[in-house]
Amino acid sequence: MSEIIKVLEIIGTIAFAVSGALIAINAGLDIFGVAFVGCITAFGGGIMRDILLGITPPAIFSNLWMLYIAIFTAIIIFVFSYIKRNKFVILKKKTEQINNLFDAIGLAAFTVIGAEIACINGFDDNCFVVTIIAMFTGVGGGIFRDILIDTKPYVFIKHIYALASIAGSVAYFLIRKYVGDITIGSIVSMFLVVAIRILATRYCWNLPKVEISENAEK
C-alpha cells in the first residue's frame, strides 16, 4: 500500500499545486505568492489531517521532496502564464476548466490518502472518523487557499465539493472493509470523486442555500 500512497501523493500534490497556482495567478499574486498558495493548496489538508490524528510534526516536514515538487510545479505554471500572459487572459474560461479538472484529481487523490491514513491509524472500523479525516485531507488545502486570496472558500458555496469527497471516502471504507482490496477501493473512490466533481461543474449542481436579496428590506 505504501507504493500506492506515494503515487497518489505525487498525483495529488501536482494536481493541487497546479490548481492553487492558477487561482493565485488569477488573483494577481506575484511568483512567491503563487508558489506559496500552490504549496498550501497541496499540503494544507494533510497538515489538518495529521494534527487531528495527533501526528506531529505533520508528515510534510519529513517529506521535503514533495514540497519541492509542489514549488517546482507552481513556478512552472507561473512562468508559462507569464510568458503566455496575453493568451492566459484570452483563454481565462479555458484555464478555469483546466483548474476544475486538476482540482478534482487532487481532491480524489487526497481523499483516498486521508481515508487510508485514518484506517492505518486505528480507525479502520469507524466509517465516520475515516470519512471526516478523508474530507479534511481533501478539502483543507482549498479552504486555506481561498482564505489566502480573500475569497469565500469554494467548498462552502459551489458544486457539492465536500460531498464528492465524502462519497469517495465512504466508498473506499466499504470496499476496504468488506472486499479487502485497497487497490480497487482507491480506483473506485477516485473515479467517484472525479465523476461527481466534473458532473457537478458541468450541470451546476449545488446544495440549497438562502438567497437574501438586498431589496428584501425595502
Residue 21, domain member (yes or no): yes
What residues contact residue 14 under an 8 Å CB cut-off, 6+ apart?
69, 70, 73
Residue 214, domain member (yes or no): no
Residue corresponding to grid cell 505525487: 10
Q: Per-residue pLDDT averaged across 99-125, rounded?
A: 94
Instruction: Tally the domains of the chain.
Output: 1
- Is residue 216 predicted with pLDDT exceeding 80? no
CA dihedral 136, 36, 190, 177 (to 10 degrees): -40
What's the distance, Cα to Cα, between the start and end of the chain in Å?
Answer: 61
In the prediction, which pLDDT does 99 show? 86
CB 73 within 8 A of CB 21: yes
> Which stretch of DSSP H or E encloses residue 218?
none
- C-alpha cell read off for 78: 507561473
Residue 216, domain member (yes or no): no
**What domain range is 68 assigned to?**
2-203
In the prediction, which pLDDT does 46 show? 96
- pLDDT tens across 141-165, in order? 999 999 999 998 988 887 788 999 9
- Is residue 211 predicted with pLDDT exceeding 90? no
Residue 110, domain member (yes or no): yes
pLDDT bucket at 133, cuts 50 / 70 / 90 = very high
User: What's the residue count for the chain?
Assistant: 218
pLDDT bucket at 63, cuts 50 / 70 / 90 = confident
Residue 211, domain member (yes or no): no
**Nearest in space to 35 (alpha carbons), one of 68, 66, 67, 75:** 75
Mean pLDDT across the chain, nearest whole number? 91
Residue 46, domain member (yes or no): yes
In the prediction, which pLDDT does 217 show? 54
In the prediction, which pLDDT does 163 show? 93
Query: Would you say the pTM of this structure is higher than 0.85?
Result: yes
**How much of the chain, in percent, has pLDDT values that exceed 70?**
94
Residue 185, domain member (yes or no): yes
Residue 212, domain member (yes or no): no
